[in-house]
Chain A
């Protein structure tokens, strides 16, 4: 069955520290993966997609098919990165979401 696993409910770091939010998936085909972010009092929104191989707000995510992972990374966390992050896997015409990781960045 297709599944997305985010093992950490909460990740706390200090400003300037590196951040890695973990995401593992199970999917039999060629996966399409996404990271969504929800800042306080804002709508859930797309952060980045693996197909684009882009860096958004300093975040990057590399698809590792061998490890079935799509971890989100940022070398130097900022306070404004504090938010809820969801990893998502595309299944046909739907998205399957993980349980989310709350990132707290302390000053």
Chain B
């Protein structure tokens, strides 16, 4: 149903390699977020961006990097510095203004480090 598209859905990586997860949205939403979802730990915020060319670290930014060159796109790079990268990654957006606080989520990307 479009909206927020994450790719790839599944990704395998060898230790020491960087990998980039894509998040694209056609909702015209301003703010975009990356969360990591681990069993028993819920969702933890990695990075977020309120506007183009600006982004802030979340609670677990170490070992990750992002860019926001276009409103529609917010790719996440998992670097080799991330000690435990195997996880399910969720991208989310909020409406312009974001006053109601509702997040809209993508389907997620599952990264497995071999």
Contacts and interface: CB of A to CB of B under 8 A. Distances in A.
Q: Is chain B a partner of chain A in the same complex?
A: yes
Interface of A: 6, 9, 32, 34, 36, 43-46, 49, 51, 86, 90, 93-100
B31 A93 contact: yes
Range, interface on chain B: 20 to 34
Interface string B71-106: 000000000000000000010000000101111011
B29 to A, nearest CB: 13
Contacts of A44: 43, 90, 103, 105
B25 interface: no
For the complex of A and B, list the 6 residue pairs with the smallest distance between their C-beta atoms, beginning with the closest: A99-B42, A97-B43, A44-B105, A97-B42, A43-B105, A90-B101
A46 B50 CA distance: 20
Contact of B98 (A34, A45, A93, A99): A93
A36 B45 CA distance: 15
Nearest to B103: A95
Interface of B: 31, 33, 35, 40-45, 48, 50, 58, 90, 98, 100-103, 105-108
Contacts of A6: 42
A49 B43 contact: no
Contacts of B42: 6, 86, 97-100
Given A44-B103, A90-B101, A99-B42, 13 more contacts: A9-B40, A43-B107, A43-B108, A44-B90, A49-B100, A51-B100, A86-B43, A93-B31, A93-B98, A95-B103, A97-B44, A98-B42, A99-B41
B107 A49 contact: no
Contacts of B41: 99
A100 B90 CA distance: 15
5 contacts: A43-B108, A46-B103, A94-B33, A94-B58, A97-B35
Contacts of B90: 44
